[in-house]
Amino acid sequence: MSLYLTPLNPHLKEIRILHLQPLTSGPSIRCSTSTVSLLSQPSPSYEALSYVWGDASIQQEIQFDGAPFPVTRNLFTALQHLRLPDQERRLWVDALCINQKDIKERNEQVAMMGEIYVYARPVLIFLGEADEGSNEAFNLISRVSEEGEIEDNVSRKLFSFYMNLVEREWFTRLWTVQELVLASQDPMVGCGFSWISWSVLLRVWQRVALREFGEMEMVISSEESDEGNESEELSGRRPNGIKIDLLSNLRKAVTEKKGEELRDLLLNTVSCKATEPRDRIYGLLGMLVEGHRNDITVDYSRPLGQVYAEAITHIFRRGIGPFLLSGMELAGPTPSDSSFPSWVPMFGSRTLPSPTKFHPPGVGASGAGSGADNGRVDEDIQTLRVRGMPIDTVLEKIEFGEGLACLTQLSAVEALVSKARQLATENKHHRLYLNSFKSKEPVWRTLIANKAYSGAAREVAPESYGEMYQRLRDNPDIGWNSDENPARKYILALMNHLPGSCFFISTTGFYGISQGTLEVGDHLAIWFGAPAPFALRPKAQVQDESGELKYAVCGVAYVAGIMDGEMVDEIYCEDLEDDMLFIVH
């Protein structure tokens, strides 16, 4: 009889331990389970397996509690390699120790996942079967870790091995991040039957990377690192390392600070894959600052939009919501899943961090309000209330084509700019104090969000780009692919920003670029705490109980002339206008 029929007691923090029988028990994989409490003294002894589930449709059979039981091929392979010669092995394996068909038990066990991996002695990271060269590489790593010098040929061989190693699926998954980061003992890493400690794997990688990247002149010093650059953080880029470094830094941060902020965890795992979309939140809870973990309830039966909305609500309570939303692809006014409020990010989307291209290189449109603790979510976790300043309403737009096609649309952009300037003149008495902003920034800067083509989001576009833009305007068919093309860098900058975006003008003469989802009639507004303005769509004159207009958020925009905080600093801070409460659904 399966022990799944005996429920686990979450109040006693009970878990199941898998007893993996040794090789002497026969050729087939045999295992059984027993129940232990994490509260017992002494603490239960077990190792926790960290692996990738793999394709659930490809299964093999083991003997589990005396009966045939299907498991994924990846788990079957892991268990094969973990069997000891002549003694039982005590493991915690999520697929077998949790009744995956019992939503209640699954919720309770996932909520305890952080503790399960903390108590494990140790965590076993199984990367999969050995491949050509992995056994030799593991032996080399062990040897090099004890030696002072690395020979050139050994360094090159290990560098190649590491670069291939991080292509293994384990390094791409979200759950594996927590399983490594929370391990209280030094985890063991295995390929096939070769095993090595994580600390040795990391230490040798750092020595090899310093040497090999140095040969390629790719080492980035600490002064040149992206520390504190939140735009690059949002995009998930780490120019001075690969996944091993990112995991190491996260493990160190969580260990030293006893947990991490949810916002930072989301940003650091933005490129990780998760089969179950809810795990993009639930798979991070064990790494949260301890006092924050109860803010989010694990419940796999809840609609996905509610799960994500609850996570963003937590971030707003921490005072860092507007900045996060400005760098994320949001559900928008017409989400494919009706459970999503428009202001909730679409975690898992390949384009998730794409709105960062509209962030300016400096402080941003919020100006003095860039560090504002702004916004709260109602108890229904559907309604966001956030303070800011209205800018204007979108009057007209041009959608840019994909690839090089966008370069042929610059004359149409210039025509719209001329129309915007005419509108500014016609509306010069409307909010008179805004007139100076509308002509402050040239169109060539606006089209590239004032960023130099260098990969560094904080580098302002040089004045030389203005001349490049004029060359391109005069000769739109100029060959851009040649290094000798005098406009090449500016063209590359345009290619980073325009495809899939749009150019717009507003009713009183502002202009800028935005996401392709922007529509005529959308409102532009600054939310205090965000580096870029938001595009908001009025919800058919729907008003709340106080008579205030409700909006859906469409995304972010770059509005020429106000992206250094001028509008907030000179208008709001000088008391020329009051701020406004935006009610967003």
Q: Are 465 and 448 in contact (CB under 8 A)?
A: yes
* Residue 339 one-letter amino acid: S
pLDDT 10s digits, 390-404: 999 999 999 999 888
Q: Which of 375-379, 431-435, 464-468 is least confident?
A: 431-435
Residue 193 lies in a domain: no
Phi, psi of 549, deg, nearest 5:
-70, 140
Q: Are 252 and 245 in contact (CB under 8 A)?
A: no
Mean residue pLDDT of the chain comes to 89
* Residue 505 CA from chain centroid, whole number: 31
Q: Is residue 396 located within the same domain as residue 297?
A: no
Are both 405 and 525 inside the same structural domain? yes
The highest-confidence range among 167-171, 206-210, 214-218, 220-224, by mean pLDDT, is 167-171
Please confirm whether the linkage preceding 42 is cis (ω < 30° from 0).
Answer: yes
CB-based contact 147:207 (threshold 8 Å): no
Q: What's the CA gap between 419 and 503, in Å, rounded? A: 13
Q: What is the pTM of this model?
A: 0.88
Asked if the model's pLDDT at residue 471 lies above 70, the reply is: yes
Based on the fold, state whether residues 401 and 521 are members of the same structural domain.
yes
pLDDT for position 4 = 83
Helix (H) or strand (E) holding 534: strand 534-543
What does the pLDDT read at residue 235? Answer: 33
Q: State which of 58, 93, 121 marks the end of a domain.
A: 121
Nearest to 389 by CA among 522, 534, 509: 534
Which residue did the predictor score with more confidence, 290 or 52? 52
Q: Residue 293: its pLDDT value, please?
A: 86
**Percent of the chain at pLDDT exceeding 70:** 92
What separation in angstroms does the CA of 235 have from each of 270, 356, 359?
A: 8, 7, 11
Given a cut of 80, whether residue 239 has pLDDT beyond it is: no
Q: Residue type for 497, please?
A: H
Q: Provide the pLDDT for residue 542.
A: 54
pLDDT at 240 over 60: no
- For residues 311, 316, 318, 321, the Cα torsion angle rounded to the nearest 10 degrees is 100
Domain count, the chain: 3
- Winning range, highest mean pLDDT, from 439-448, 539-548, 564-573: 439-448
Which of 103, 121, 139 lies at the terminal end of a domain, its last residue? 121
Model confidence band, residue 565 (pLDDT cutoffs 50, 70, 90): very high
Residue 436, domain member (yes or no): yes
Instruction: Determine contact, residues 79/20, Cβ cutoff 8 Å.
Output: yes
pLDDT of residue 547: 63
How many angstroms separate the CA atoms of 458 and 452, rounded? 9
Same domain, 438 and 527: yes
Q: Could you tell me the two tokens for 304?
A: 């996905």
Neighbours of 97 (CB within 10 A): 21
Q: What integer pLDDT is reported at residue 315 of this predicted model?
A: 95
Asked if 106 and 32 touch (Cβ cutoff 8 Å), the reply is no
Predicted pLDDT of residue 231 = 35
What sign does the CA torsion over 199, 201, 202, 204 have?
A: positive
Place of tokens 């498991």: 71
Q: pLDDT value at position 456?
A: 53
Q: What confidence tier does 3 reach under pLDDT thresholds 50, 70, 90?
A: low
The span from the CA of 450 to the CA of 441, in Å, is 9
On whether residue 196 sits in a domain, the answer given is: no
pLDDT at 283: 95
Question: Is 2 a residue whose pLDDT tops 60?
Answer: no
- When pLDDT is averaged across residues 310-324 and rounded to a whole number, the result is 93
Q: Which residue has the higher pLDDT, 449 or 569?
A: 449
285 plus 406 within the same structural domain: no
Which of 178-182, 327-331, 361-365, 546-550 is least confident? 546-550
Can you tell me which residue has the tokens 């008179």?
A: 432
Regarding whether 92 and 238 lie in a shared domain, the answer is no
Q: How far apart are CA 24 and CA 442, in angstroms?
A: 77
pLDDT value of position 320: 85
Question: Are 52 and 101 members of one domain?
Answer: yes
Residues 432 and 550 in one domain: yes
Q: Is residue 174 part of a domain?
A: no
Q: Determine the average pLDDT of the residues in 324-330.
A: 95
Query: Dmax of the chain from CA atoms?
Result: 90
**Do the domain assignments include residue 348?**
no
- Together in a domain, 314 and 362: no
203 within some domain: no
Residue 204 lies in a domain: no
b/e 100-125 (16+ beta carbons within 10 angstroms → b): eeeeebbbbbbbbbbebbbbbebbbb
165-189 average pLDDT score: 95
Q: Which domain holds residue 26?
A: 1-121
List pLDDT tens digits, range 69-81: 999 999 999 999 9
**Segment 83-107 mean pLDDT:** 96
368 and 298 within one domain: no
In a domain, residue 128? The reply is no
Of the chain, the percentage scoring pLDDT greater than 90 comes to 72
In the structure, what pLDDT confidence band is assigned to residue 454 with cuts at 50, 70 and 90? confident
The pLDDT assigned to 212 comes to 84
Which of 258, 289, 318 corresponds to the end of one domain? 318
3-state secondary structure (DSSP) of residue 317: helix
Average pLDDT over residues 484-492: 82
Same-domain check for residues 304 and 371:
no
- CA-to-CA separations, 402 to 399, 449, 494, in angstroms, rounded: 10, 18, 11
Bridge partners of 36?
Answer: 15
pLDDT of residue 88: 97
Q: Are residues 373 and 521 in the same domain?
A: yes
Give the mean pLDDT of 283-288. 94
